[in-house]
Copies of this chain bind each other. A is one copy, B any other.
C-alpha cells in the first residue's frame, strides 16, 4: 500500500539550532531511495507504507545512535485504496 507521508524530527536539548540534526535526519530519509521532498516544516515522503514506517524509524534510531538524547517526531500518513496517491497529484497549482 502506497503512502504519502510527512515527518518532522525535533531534537530536544541539542541546543537552539538544530540544523545539523535536521540535515542528518533528512540524509537518512534520502538513503531509503523513497521520493523525499524537504520543506519548511518537515520532509514529505512517498512510498510503500511499510518502507515509510521503517525509514522514519531508522532516522530516529540513527540520530539517537549518533548522540542525540531526546527526539519528538511528528508523522502524517495519507493512505487510500481507491487509487495510487502521488505527492505531485496533491499539488494542484
Q: List residues of chain A with CB under 8 Å of any chain B CB.
A: 1, 4-6, 8, 10-19, 22-23, 26, 37-42, 44, 46, 49-50, 53-54, 56-57, 60-61, 64, 68-82, 87, 90-93
Main secondary structure of the interface of A (DSSP, over half): mixed
Copies assembled? 4
| Chain B residues with CB under 8 A of A26 | 93
Whether A41 touches B42, Cβ cut-off 8 Å, given contacts A70-B79, A74-B75, is yes
| Chain B residues with CB under 8 A of A57 | 49-50, 53
Do A40 and B44 touch (CB < 8 A)? yes
Whether A39 touches B72, Cβ cut-off 8 Å, given contacts A49-B60, A53-B57, A81-B64, is no
